[in-house]
Copies of this chain bind each other. A is one copy, B any other.
């Protein structure tokens, strides 16, 4: 079964959390928006689903995943659905809800990372809201990164199955997403993240361990991995970054 992943071409964004799971599992998938119009693919094919006046499982926004007739929307939901199929979910069913709770907390932090450069309106340009962005980014660096990452570090520390994984004792999609979140923050806020490894050693080790996984390393080295850029959730605007004590 080939999964069809719908996400904007040209950026990592929220789609990247799904891509990392599909790539780690070497799953068979097509990126619809990045495909060729001659094959019925491309961004237009994605817009057609969003604009459909008959689709029964209408998604609000990318990313969404098509598996046969079923369309599954929302990043954390896609991963909850794919996790067991890709062997990237906890084996114990109750732990799947623990995994989903963590994934949704990662999603909340991703939204806050986005809002550092778009605090006033997602439809306005960054340049129109730079002053507000500076205030929000400063709060994000001073208060939100420590709060979220302090929490995630404690989750690792208190995992009864050991501090190598966010939940249980095997790799799950939550570990892959945690890698992406930390990686994105390093890109966006290199000064603020400079001492990340000293403050959150377990998270830093998890990030590095994911980076070395053969399928992930091969993916990151391929053309399938899009570079970070300033159309994405994680944007590097030096004026929003700052050193932390």
Residues of chain A touching chain B, judged by Cβ–Cβ distance below 8 Å, are: 52-60, 64, 70-74, 76-77, 80-81, 94, 97-98, 100-101, 104-105, 108, 111, 115, 119-121, 123-124, 132, 135-136, 139, 143, 148, 151, 154-155, 158-160
Q: How far does the Cβ of A1 sit from chain B's closest Cβ, in whole Å?
A: 14
Complex CA distance for A123 and B146, rounded to whole angstroms: 14
Q: How far does the Cβ of A174 sit from chain B's closest Cβ, in whole Å?
A: 12
> Are B94 and A74 in contact (CB-based, < 8 A)?
no
Interface centre among A60, A94, A121, A154 (most CB of B within 10 A): A60
A77 neighbours in B (Cβ, 8 Å): 97, 100-101, 104
A120 neighbours in B (Cβ, 8 Å): 119, 132, 135-136, 139
A70 neighbours in B (Cβ, 8 Å): 94, 97-98
Q: How far does the Cβ of A192 sit from chain B's closest Cβ, in whole Å?
A: 16
> Are A58 and B136 in contact (CB-based, < 8 A)?
no
Q: How far does the Cβ of A119 sit from chain B's closest Cβ, in whole Å?
A: 5
Partner of A151, one of B54, B58, B64, B124: B58
